[in-house]
Amino acid sequence: MVAILRGDGHPAGTVLAAEAAEIQGVNDRVQLAQAQRACNGRLLEAWMLAGATITDPSSTWIDMDVTLAPDAEIRPGTHLEGRTDIGPGARIGPDCLLRDTSVGQDATVLYTVSESAEIGPGASVGPYARLRPGTRIGPGAHIGTHVELKNAVVGRGAKVPHLSYVGDADIGEHSNIGAATIFANYDGMAKHRTTVGPHVFTGSDTVLVAPVTIGDGAYTAAGSVITEDVPPGALGVARGRQHNSAGWVERQRPGTGSAAAAARAREAAEPGTGGSAPTGGDKGHEGDKGHEGAEGVEGKQAR
């Protein structure tokens, strides 16, 4: 290029580069990776000088449009992409991927993948959570282990602690979503929305079949498939009653370890009689009052 310029009568001079990386050539994938590393290092250094803490710059990657507030802490293995914004005092990582996500002041995000989501001040997310587009998590809310949210709004102080899918939903403040609760939002043709009021408690393994509304302060019993609205303050129960078939294992699985264990337990329950221990097959189902009390106990969340 210099020879062509001089041959055409143009002057050619020199300029001293501030850093060698600024004029590094990119002619193959190796040099491209080197240039990316140099650019990333420059961005990380600038944010650390501005007051953010980056624990391990060698394993942290951020894009040009990412913003970090003073006293934000970025832990190892974290990737911040797009227009992600991290608030003051927030702790991100280790091992997070946040894209176009805003994180409020003093929030914590651990082992999480998030895209186009909002995490409110003081909220906690993870480990192993996935936030999909349209998710908004309110101040002080908690999203726990192996929880996925899509187009969901979680109110102030609400909790979705473990093993749940929340799609197209509004969850009121201070509600508790029990382990393995599923918001069944798709009927095969269209998506539908679920509304959960404030101070609601869903029992473990509840399925909420949208569109459905769980009223303020209501409960659902564990294992229920809720297809109708639950009024405020009510207990929603939607499941078959348990029946115990006495002696089934010894009759149908003779010679197994299970059959032997059952026999020992039966003999211990009634020593010397050779009879069967009480089974309680339908016990406790005679009265509505007793049934409702049992449902209340069975609706407790697994913690």
> Does any domain span residue 235?
yes
Amino acid at 200: V
Instruction: Give the tens place of pLDDT for each residue, 42-69.
Output: 999 999 999 999 999 999 999 999 999 9
Q: Which CATH number does the domain housing residue 198 bear? A: 2.160.10.10
How far apart are the C-alpha atoms of 32 and 39, rounded to whole Å? Answer: 11
Instruction: Tell how far CA 160 is from the center of its chain.
Output: 8
The string of DSSP codes covering 57-108 is GGG-EE-TT-EE-TT-EE-TT-EEESS-EE-TT-EE-SS-EEES-EE-TT-E
Mean local confidence (pLDDT), 82-91: 98
Cα separation, 19 vs 233, whole angstroms? 67
pLDDT for 14 equals 87
Within a domain: residue 160?
yes
Check if 162 is active-site: yes
pLDDT at 87 exceeding the cut of 90: yes
Catalytic residue chosen out of the listed positions 162, 192, 243, 285:
162
> Residue 269's Cα: distance from chain center in Å?
45
294 pLDDT more than 60: no
Grouping H, G, I as helix, E, B as strand and the rest as coil, residue 274 is coil
pLDDT in tens, 109-128: 999 999 999 999 999 999 99
8 Å CB contact between 221 and 203:
yes
| pLDDT surpasses 60 at 93 | yes
Which residues fall within 8 angstroms of residue 223, CB to CB, at 6 or more apart? 203, 204, 205, 206, 239, 298
Residue 210 included in any domain: yes
Domain membership of residue 228 (yes or no) is yes
pTM of the model: 0.82
Q: What is the per-residue pLDDT across 211-240, written as a single tens digit (0 to 9) for each?
A: 999 999 999 999 999 999 999 999 999 999
Q: How confident is the model at residue 272 (pLDDT cuts 50, 70, 90)?
A: low
Give residue 187's domain range.
147-239+299-303
The region of weakest confidence among 72-81, 89-98, 163-172, 288-297 is 288-297
Does some domain include residue 128? no
Local structure of 202: helix, strand or coil: strand
> Residue 20: what pLDDT?
82
106, part of any domain: no
- Is the pLDDT at 300 greater than 80, yes or no? no
Q: Over the Cα atoms of the chain, what is R_g?
A: 29
Residue 231 domain-assigned?
Answer: yes
pLDDT at 271 (0 to 100)? 63
Q: Other CB atoms closer than 10 Å to residue 202's CB: what's the count?
A: 32
φ and ψ of 158, to 5 deg: -75, 160
End-to-end, the C-alpha distance of the chain in Å comes to 70
Q: How confident is the model at residue 284 (pLDDT cuts 50, 70, 90)?
A: very low
Contacts of 46 by beta carbon, 8 Å cutoff, 6+ apart: none
- In-domain check, residue 205: yes
38, 20 Cβ separation under 8 angstroms: no
Percent of the chain with pLDDT over 90: 83
For the beta carbon of residue 144, count every other beta carbon within 10 angstroms.
19
pLDDT, mean of residues 95-115: 98
pLDDT for the residue numbered 23: 86
Residue 24: its pLDDT value, please?
87
Q: What totals of helices (H) and strands (E) does the chain contain, helices first?
A: 5, 28
Total domain count, the chain: 1
